[in-house]
């Protein structure tokens, strides 16, 4: 049975837990330490904990950090419920929150019922998701319900939207007006309790992962914080010219303290490149970093994709830039697979998008 914490928050461009489970079973043993330097929503670190491994993950995206840290360092259900109750008791639709609503762009008026938006703004002001794991879990639960297909589920707070990405403000408002769609009135606290019950049907793993909100290039500086040698990496770097999280996750970024509109390259320039040379430079930096933090004879599995590069170009390019590593890198195997159920079809029907993925298994000697 799939652990329900895996789907704590749906995320665009993520690999399934079956991918992580396959390679962890093949390349590691219980007690080994594994790393994902582009951890996204934390699938690899969480699956590693479920399988008795130690796990390290990092990501520049604050949304990814919040989700990954929550699911791999889960507090007790009792503590989270007590905090939700406390927050609800202290919530007041007061003058300060009302003033903040008036300052938000018109998008928010159409995206959320006024009462729901008051609760969200209050929680945005109050939660300290980086300071405590309890607030971190509540923030992650909110991110998972912040927007979605309201016609399919009552667990989403927003007007009709995709649940994997935040559509652009102008497009969204036009979409809702043309279809005369109004935001439903949702009780954020009630939905949080339901989601808490659902996610905690199974106990979270006993172990704890080390999750860092940083660029992967900084991992060598954090090496002293690692408890044991890293012998395996399973990761999926940003695909070439496919997605930009500062745009696609802008609404979740807003809830975590960001601006109330999309901002390109606000956090990192590595999540989408239109210049292929810059893209390979980023992956060359990845190889330099891995050669500094990994143990001897380590395995590295990389899933990668692109809209404008053929599979053979991805394999040869990955192997070529590995030459910058301070140690020898050997390509063990590679495999190309078609993306059958493309996430972009849900909100961009007929788009070209990324149609194949390449899995490469390397060994660092």
Q: Is the pLDDT of residue 342 over 50?
A: no
> What is the mean predicted confidence (pLDDT) over 232-250?
87
Q: In this structure, are strands 294-305 and 356-364 parallel, antiparallel, or unpaired?
A: antiparallel
124: nearest Cα among 315, 314, 255: 255
Segment 202-234, tens digit of pLDDT: 999 999 999 999 999 999 999 999 989 999 999
> What is the mean predicted confidence (pLDDT) over 152-180?
96
> What is the mean predicted confidence (pLDDT) over 13-30?
93
Segment 66-91, tens digit of pLDDT: 999 999 999 999 999 999 999 999 99
Domain boundaries defined on the chain: 4-69+209-364, 77-199
Q: Is the pLDDT of residue 345 over 60?
A: no
Q: Is the pLDDT of residue 344 over 50?
A: no
pLDDT at position 94:
60
pLDDT at position 13:
65
* Pair 304, 360: CB distance under 8 Å: yes
pLDDT at position 241:
76
Q: Is the pLDDT of residue 114 over 60?
A: yes
Query: Which residues have a Cβ under 8 Å from the Cβ of 166 and sit 6 or more positions away?
Result: 147, 248, 249, 250, 251, 252, 262
* Pair 14, 41: CB distance under 8 Å: yes
pLDDT band at 134 (very low <50, low <70, confident <90, very high): very high
pLDDT at position 321:
96
Segment 258-316, tens digit of pLDDT: 999 998 655 566 666 678 889 999 999 999 999 999 998 999 999 998 887 888 999 99
> What is the mean predicted confidence (pLDDT) over 115-134?
96
The Cα 332–Cα 329 span in angstroms is: 9
pLDDT at position 54:
97
Q: Is the pLDDT of residue 168 over 90?
A: yes
Instruction: Determine the 3-state secondary structure of 160 from DSSP.
Output: strand
pLDDT at position 354:
61
The Cα 317–Cα 308 span in angstroms is: 13
Residue 358: enclosing H or E segment and its boundaries?
strand 356-364
The Cα 110–Cα 173 span in angstroms is: 7
Burial (CB count within 10 angstroms: exposed 0-12, middle 13-18, buried 19+), residue 180 = exposed
- DSSP secondary structure string, 292-306? HHEEEEEEEEEEEEB
Token pair belonging to 360: 């490469």
Between 342 and 235, name the one with better pLDDT: 235
pLDDT at position 95:
59
Assigned CATH for 4-69+209-364: 3.40.50.150
Instruction: Determine the 3-state secondary structure of 339 from DSSP.
Output: coil
Phi and psi at 38, nearest 5°, equal -130, 65
pLDDT band at 347 (very low <50, low <70, confident <90, very high): very low
Segment 145-163, tens digit of pLDDT: 999 999 999 999 999 999 9
* Pair 133, 66: CB distance under 8 Å: no
Q: What is the mean pLDDT of the chain?
A: 91
């Amino acid at each position: 049975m799939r652990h329900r914490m895996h789907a704590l928050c749906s995320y665009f461009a993520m690999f399934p837990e079956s991918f992580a489970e396959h390679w962890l079973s093949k390349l590691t043993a219980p007690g080994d330490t594994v790393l994902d330097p582009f951890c996204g929503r934390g699938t690899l670190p969480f699956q590693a904990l479920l399988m008795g491994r130690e796990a390290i993950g990092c990501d520049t995206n604050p949304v990814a950090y919040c989700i990954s840290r929550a699911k791999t360092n889960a507090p007790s259900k009792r503590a989270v419920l007590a905090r939700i109750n406390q927050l609800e008791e202290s919530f007041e639709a007061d003058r300060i929150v009302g003033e903040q609503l008036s300052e938000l762009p018109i998008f928010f008026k159409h995206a959320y019922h006024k009462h729901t938006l008051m609760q969200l703004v209050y929680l945005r002001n109050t939660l300290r998701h980086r300071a405590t794991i309890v607030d971190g879990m509540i923030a992650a639960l909110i991110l998972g319900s912040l927007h979605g297909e309201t016609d399919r589920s009552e667990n989403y707070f927003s007007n009709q939207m995709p649940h994997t990405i935040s559509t652009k403000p102008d497009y969204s408002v036009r979409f809702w007006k043309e279809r005369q769609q109004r935001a439903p009135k949702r009780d954020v606290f009630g939905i949080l309790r339901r989601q808490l019950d659902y996610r905690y049907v199974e106990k979270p793993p006993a172990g704890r992962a080390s999750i860092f909100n940083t660029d992967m290039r900084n991992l060598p500086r954090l090496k002293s914080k690692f408890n044991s040698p890293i012998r395996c990496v399973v990761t999926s770097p940003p695909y070439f010219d496919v997605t930009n999280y500062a745009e696609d996750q802008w609404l979740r970024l807003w809830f975590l303290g960001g601006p109330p509109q999309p901002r390109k390259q606000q956090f990192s320039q590595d999540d989408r490149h239109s210049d292929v040379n810059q893209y390979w430079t980023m992956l060359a930096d990845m190889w330099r970093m891995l050669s500094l933090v990994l143990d001897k004879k380590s395995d590295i599995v990389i899933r990668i994709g692109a809209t404008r590069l053929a599979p053979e170009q991805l394999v040869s390019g990955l192997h070529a830039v590995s030459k910058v590593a301070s140690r020898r890198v050997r390509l063990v195997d590679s495999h190309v697979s078609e993306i059958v159920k493309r996430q972009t079809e849900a909100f961009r029907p007929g788009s070209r998008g990324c149609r194949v993925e390449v899995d490469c298994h390397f060994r660092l000697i």
